[in-house]
Structure 1
Amino acid sequence: MSSFRSPTEALQAHSPIAADGLPEAQAVFHGVDEAVWIEVIRKMDEVYNDLLQYEVALEQKNAALEDSQQFIESVLASMSDILIVCNRHGAIQEVNDSLRRFIGQDETVLYGRPVCELFADDVSRQRARDFFSAARPASVQDCELLISGRDGNSLPVSLNCTPRLSGTGKLVGMVLTGRPVGELRRAYHALRQAHEDLKRTQQQLLQAEKMASLGRLVAGVAHELNNPISFVLGNVLAIRRYAARLQSYLDAVHSDACVRSPALEAMRQDLRIDRILEDITPLLDGMTEGAERTRDIVDGLKRFSAVDRSADEPVNLAEVLARAVRWVTRAAMQGFRVTVDLPQELPIIGSSGQMQQVLMNLVQNARDATAGGEAPTLEISAERCNGTVILSFVDNGPGIAEANLPRLFDPFFTTKPVGQGTGLGLSISYGIVERHGGKLEAANRPGGGAVFTLTLPLAPV
């Protein structure tokens, strides 16, 4: 391992034999005291041992230096960001594989080349020169410059520039690191989209919880209303029977000539008994119709409640739409006209309550959009296409501003005045439709007005 030899070996190798048979060195120092000679040999051995230790330490440091160099080279080769090391005059001293792949040039061409020549336009080249213009340049963060990529393409890169100092604090150069802005933009877009999706999901969960609580309340109210409605309908039936019996009795009394008297006739005229008997039947019919309509409303509330909001069951979309239109138009202003052109059967699989919520929201938005216009109208039509049903809601309102179309289904976005809209209706409807495997879209029609298109998969036959 070692190239050194001991002092004794060296002395024997370099001491020629004198004429008297003694080594020449011994002949020269023949008159020297033997103790001095031994001390010299001992000192030489110590120096030799020190040299051996220095050689071992040097070899260990060389091995560590090689390991460090290999580690640094592997790190530089693995970096996805570009790296450029320059001297204080801006000449390239070192680059990594990412830059070489990015610009399509070999390192032998890049070494010693001014770093400003890597950039594509005059503005970027001048900005790169400014990095080295000051006597003590400052760090630069997120500076977007155009760099000349392979095949002559100009690619935006976000650069960070940091001064490189010697051990004594003297400026020796600059280190530039950067990442293609396209990747940053894609990552930012993905992060923003994930954030928007998270906010939308949070709002939908919050609204779903509110709607679930409202649904439970409505279900309880509907259950409580059923009892008095049953009493009313039952009593109306009883009154009908009693009225028929009273009518028969009165007719019998006043038709009997023996019992008939002028006083009874006068009383009958004063009390308007005949008028009352004529009105009883229409009054009872109105009470029956009102009670039955109330019962239908209660049934609709029960279907709208949380009992079936998550149930997947066969649903006739035509019936749900008819119910939604009926509910909205009853509370609409005078003159709002809805025309519906649907087949009698539009079977889908899903939740009747959730779909009624979506359809009511679309009809109500059309009602609000056409308010104040002449002859407010909403036209609803359906089309079957490749196993789906496409419902179109076309109104004759002012339409949707182009700037608002991309944000129409965002949570809390609304064009209605404060206090008239929460901005959650369309967002929740969009989520419900997606959960049913469909899509909800909005656009403006060329002739004016808005068009909402609801696409849902039909139930398999």
Structure 2
Amino acid sequence: MTNEHEVDNEQAIQADVAWVDVIHKMDEAYADLVRSQVELESKNVELEEAQRYFDSVQSSMNDVLIVCDNHGKIDGVNRALSEFTDEDSPSLLGTPVEELISCPGVPLLPLLKQVDSKHIERDVDVVLHGSFGDVPLSVNCSPRINHRGRKVGVVLVGRPVGELQRAYKELNEAHAELQLAQQRLVQSEKMASLGRLVAGVAHELNNPISFVYGNMHVLQRYTNKLRTYFDAVSEGATREDLRDMRSQMRLDKAIKDLDSLVEGTMEGAVRVKEIVDDLRQFSSTQASAKAAFDIVHVIRTAAHWIVKESKFSVDITYQLPPKLDAWGHAGQIHQVVVNLVQNAFDAMADSEIRSLILSAEPCHQGVLVTLKDSGPGISETDAPNLFEPFFTTKPVGKGTGLGLSISYGIIAEHHGELSIINHEQGGALARLWLPGPGEDDA
């Protein structure tokens, strides 16, 4: 009996252990179920958010979107297509795409089958059969690929041609306005250069004209005295009266001064003529005006005019030969040199030492002009942009940023070279090379 009782107890214990194991397994299964449920709900939330994001992107598109399978059946559309067809998205699902779109002169379905990952048709002109009439579209076609990398359909994105034309028109208008603004700025820079030139000419003309003006006043007084004297002679005045009149009016001195007054007046008139000739040469814009010209004369004239207008003094050193001929348009090169000298002056405005070295010499069948200033030099960030249009380091309202750009274009048209670098001893160094006389400028 005792053995039977012990066996029963052992079986009961084993049954209890088995039941506890079952409960543990059930708890683990329930925990896994709860965890899976939480993950599933989280994935559903992410999926819903992705769906809402996708729907919002689709609904905000103004372009027509059509998604179809390999057989041309519509799998999805966006709001823009629904508005054109006046049908909601569910009613369009499964509709053959050929019922909505046709490609003039070419069957649409074979054309869509040609679209694969290596061959994408772009900007295909089709016609959308909308509820309010046919609408021409410019369509972009691309393949729709599944997670295995296989093509399962085609995605078509199209924009009404009318909208494209309107966009092109707006783009052209904006481009025209930009060109007009650029032309105005270029004209502004030209007017600024003209202003500097006129100011220089005014200073240059002032001295000889003032000299001529003063001489003519003196000659006018002498003329009146001589007229009075000769009137007295013609009226029969006595020798003594004429001698007294001649002494009182100091006619002997006036007669001696006549030669110097005439020579000085002629010298002033010649100087005025030379200045006017320079102005006519520098202001000429005809391509035929290209010829051999003295670059030394251009450098000295340009520097002289900038000095006349400068509000501070600059120590200028000329390392120039008596004469050196270059080939090109003297007026345009004068504008370039004026811009380079003006930039050098502007760079030295805040410098304690202001010095500028101007040199010219023959170089490689042409002439090399260099300008070295004692300014702060060029920063690394500004160096690559020096010749870019509208780039300037000057404060707003102090420069258009077109001077160096225009100068670079002029030198390029002359088949020359223009560069500005930092000098190893400090300051900036501008180098201008031009072909010499006899070089082919075509």
Q: If the length of structure 2 is used for normalisation, what is the TM-score?
A: 0.47
Q: If the length of structure 1 is used for normalisation, what is the TM-score?
A: 0.45
